[in-house]
Copies of this chain bind each other. A is one copy, B any other.
Amino acid sequence: MNTQKPYVIGVDLGGTNTVFGIVDAQGNIVAQDSIKTQDYKTAVAFVEAGVACLKPLLEKVGGIEQIAGMGIGAPNANFYSGAIEYAPNLSWAHDGVVPLAQMFSGRLGGLAVRLTNDANAAAMGEMTYGVARGMKNFIVITLGTGVGSGIVINGQLVYGHDGFAGELGHVKVDHSANARLCGCGRHGCLEAYCSATGVARTAREMLQLSERPSLLREKNPDDIESLDVFLAAQKGDDMAKEIFNYTGLTLGEACADFAAFSSPEAFIFFGGLCKAGGLIMKPIEEAYNRAVMPIFRGKAKFLVSGLMNANAAVLGASALGWGE
């Protein structure tokens, strides 16, 4: 950690907004602003607008001299190359390689700029400011529209040979012939069962397979979202609780396989589904301890992210700014 300079810049580059934040060593965001990600025709114009957005924020903390580094969390980001590669949802990066880290660095006086995907940024955030402080071996699993992961081993993020490691949402949890189709084109991926959309899919399947009464029947099945399942479960709806049980079971059994790989101290869950608390966390831990090899049983912690607020993505990305 660069102790000479008191701040880092964290950037959460999303499909709609790109948020810039100046963050101190305690994880306080001392200044923040945003631009629309897709209002620009080219990556050059986007970077230009980003630098203009940063200028007043930097002035507030005494200028670029006070900044140790910058971290960007973005889709299809490659840590090694510092580039966004063929990001389908970004108008100025969907059909090419955009060396975003280098472009920002060039416009910010050679500042060290690092780029990674959202889930890896979340893992860095937990290690720097969150529940993984002091841990050297842990796995962050993000439960959102998809399932992402950031893996830390020996205190280092795992990027693998090509920069794309840590795709635990796409480990197979169902090898059967009727395994669910995943957004990645394969069948049986964890993401197809345990993302927010996977939970809604489980709800639709369960409603169809039986005539059991459920508050979920009040909605058109096609409109059911994971939030509806959560609200129904909170009201004591049996089927909704069973859906969380099934989701937790699937996650817990997958984590048992992840333990055989890297034997982490903790599994840390991040994202909307975690708001269900014990409804999902309890079945995860129980299924894990049933499924895991005896040598690992009862050893791992199951935690909810310490950064579950609107600025988690900025904080996570900013953690990269402190460097190794």
- Contact residues of A with B, CB < 8 Å? 136-137, 151, 153-154, 156, 158-168, 170-176, 184-186, 253, 256-265, 291, 293-296, 299-300
Query: Looking across the interface, which residue of chain B has its beta carbon closest to that of A162?
Result: B263
A294 to B171, CA, bound (A): 13
Q: Is the Cβ of B257 less than 8 Å from the Cβ of A161?
A: no
Given the interface contacts A154-B154, A293-B167, A293-B170, does A263 sit within 8 Å of B160 by beta carbon? yes
Q: Which B residues are CB-close (under 8 A) to A259?
A: 160
Complex CA distance for A207 and B175, rounded to whole angstroms: 24
Chain B residue nearest in CB terms to A139: B261
Q: Do the beta carbons of A172 and B257 come within 8 Å of each other?
A: yes
Indicate whether A173 sits within 8 Å of B175 (C-beta atoms), given known contacts A154-B156, A164-B263, A263-B160.
yes
B293, A260: Cβ atoms under 8 Å?
no
Cα distance A154–B261 when bound, in Å? 15
Q: Which residue of B lies closest to A172 (CB)?
A: B257
Which of B137, B165, B294 is within 8 Å of A263, CB to CB?
B165
Indicate if the CB atoms of B263 and A161 lie closer than 8 Å: yes
Please tell me if the beta carbons of A260 and B174 are within 8 angstroms of each other in the complex. Answer: no
Is the Cβ of B253 less than 8 Å from the Cβ of A172?
yes
- B161 and A137 contact, CB distance less than 8 A: yes
Q: Chain B residues near A170 (CB, 8 Å)?
A: 260, 293
B261 contacts A166, CB within 8 Å?
yes
Q: Is the CB of A185 within 8 A of B294?
A: yes
Q: How far is the CA of A12 from the CA of B291 in the complex (A)?
A: 32
A168 near B299: Cβ-Cβ < 8 Å: no
Number of copies: 2
Most buried by B among A258, A260, A295: A260
How far apart sit A251 and B300, CA to CA, in the bound complex (Å)?
27
Q: How far is the CA of A291 from the CA of B171 in the complex (A)?
A: 10
Residue of B nearest to A266 (CB): B161
Q: Are A261 and B263 in contact (CB under 8 A)?
A: no
Complex-state Cα separation, A176 to B167, whole angstroms:
24
Find A264's partner among B136, B160, B176, B296 (CB 8 Å cutoff): B160
Q: A176 — which chain B residues lie within 8 A by C-beta? A: 175-176
Q: How far is the CB of A186 from chain B (nearest CB, A)?
A: 7
State which of B160, B173, B185, B260 has its C-beta within 8 Å of the C-beta of A262: B160
User: Is the Cβ of A294 less than 8 Å from the Cβ of B184?
Assistant: yes
CA distance A261 to B162 in the complex (A): 12
User: How far does the alpha carbon of A156 sit from the alpha carbon of B296 in the complex, in Å?
Assistant: 21
Chain B residues in 8 Å Cβ range of A164: 263, 295-296
Other-chain residue from B171, B256, B291 in contact with A257 (beta carbon distance below 8 A): B171
Contact residue among B161, B167, B256, B294 (Cβ-Cβ distance under 8 Å from A260)? B167
Q: Looking at the complex, which one of B151, B184, B258, B265 makes contact with A293 (CB distance below 8 Å)?
A: B184
CB-CB under 8 A from A257, the residues of chain B are 171-172, 257
CA distance A299 to B258 in the complex (A): 22
CA A287 to CA B16, docked complex, whole Å? 38
Residues of chain B contacted by A295 (CB below 8 angstroms): 164, 167
A122 to chain B, nearest CB (A): 17
